[in-house]
Amino acid sequence: MDLRFSWIKKSALYIGKKRAVKLVRLHPYEMSLIHNHPNVFIQTKSLRNWVHIMPSGTPLFPGLGASVIYADAFNILKSDLWGSVPLGRNSHWKKLLLEHITHIYPSAKLLDRIQALDPGIGTDRIHGDATMANMVSLEIKPHRFMARWIDPCWRPYLPADRRVDVAKGMQSAWNFEGVVSLNQKPFFIPRLAEAIKTASEMTSSDDEVINTWLLVHIARLLRYQTPRVLKLFTEVLVDYYGCKL
């Protein structure tokens, strides 16, 4: 895949009191999403006072439930991105995903769950990496916030299915950002998960597919993490979902 630096190269993001400069490489399709959906995405060069909201809240907004803002961000995906001009179906994603997971986390149970997915799903335009780390918020009035997204992610082994995005939200509901950035341990946040599902208009019939994509997302991320994070989320895969190697 031909990746190149985009015109939204640099962002100064605040997580608690930490400042991080983020460089991103975007595929041309990802760049077009940002350009064509200004109500969904913000150019990272324009962030300035926009901040991350962690699952437990930030010092800037003490006592504010992250679920409210994060749910609003998913409502924006639902209304302004997923339902925009449909994409053609990606007929090769399942074969590519099976090859990818077999290489990085060959759990028989996880591979069986992937095999059970409908290969024909999805014509949605999706974010692809809709975690809390890629959602930013701006206080426009006291206790009133505007949410936007950054850093969309296109991969050939992901179908254009909105449940892929919702499962990324479930990754954050497992306190992934807190584990990585704040040295916390994984724990599930039901209130956050329910807020995301409600905003996304997911039903119980979607739960199995969402959980499969959650496991795929976690498995894909393990190889990029520190030994501590790798150990903790491998335990989540094994102890909570039975996905042993």
Phi-psi region of 62 (alpha: psi -120 to 50; beta: other; left: phi over 0): beta
Q: What pLDDT is attached to residue 54?
A: 62
Question: Using a CB cutoff of 8 Å and minimum separation of 24, what contacts does 12-16 make?
Answer: 12/47, 12/48, 13/47, 13/50, 13/51, 13/52, 13/136, 14/51, 14/52, 14/58, 14/60, 15/52, 15/54, 15/58, 15/177, 15/181, 16/54, 16/58, 16/59, 16/181, 16/182
Instruction: For residue 57, give both structure tokens.
Output: 């809240």
d(CA 230, CA 225): 6
Which CATH code fits 11-240? 3.90.1200.10
pLDDT tens for each residue of 198-213: 999 999 999 999 999 9
CB neighbourhood size of 95 (10 A): 11
Q: What pLDDT is attached to residue 48?
A: 72
How much of the chain exceeds pLDDT 90, in percent?
56
Tell me: pLDDT of 21 over 50: no
pLDDT tens for each residue of 90-145: 889 999 999 999 999 999 999 999 999 999 888 999 999 999 889 888 878 877 78
- Percent of residues in the chain assigned helix, strand, coil, to nearest 5: 45, 15, 40
Which sequence spans correspond to the domains of the chain? 11-240
pLDDT tens for each residue of 130-187: 998 898 888 788 777 888 999 899 999 999 999 999 999 999 999 998 888 888 899 9
Place of tokens 């895969």: 237
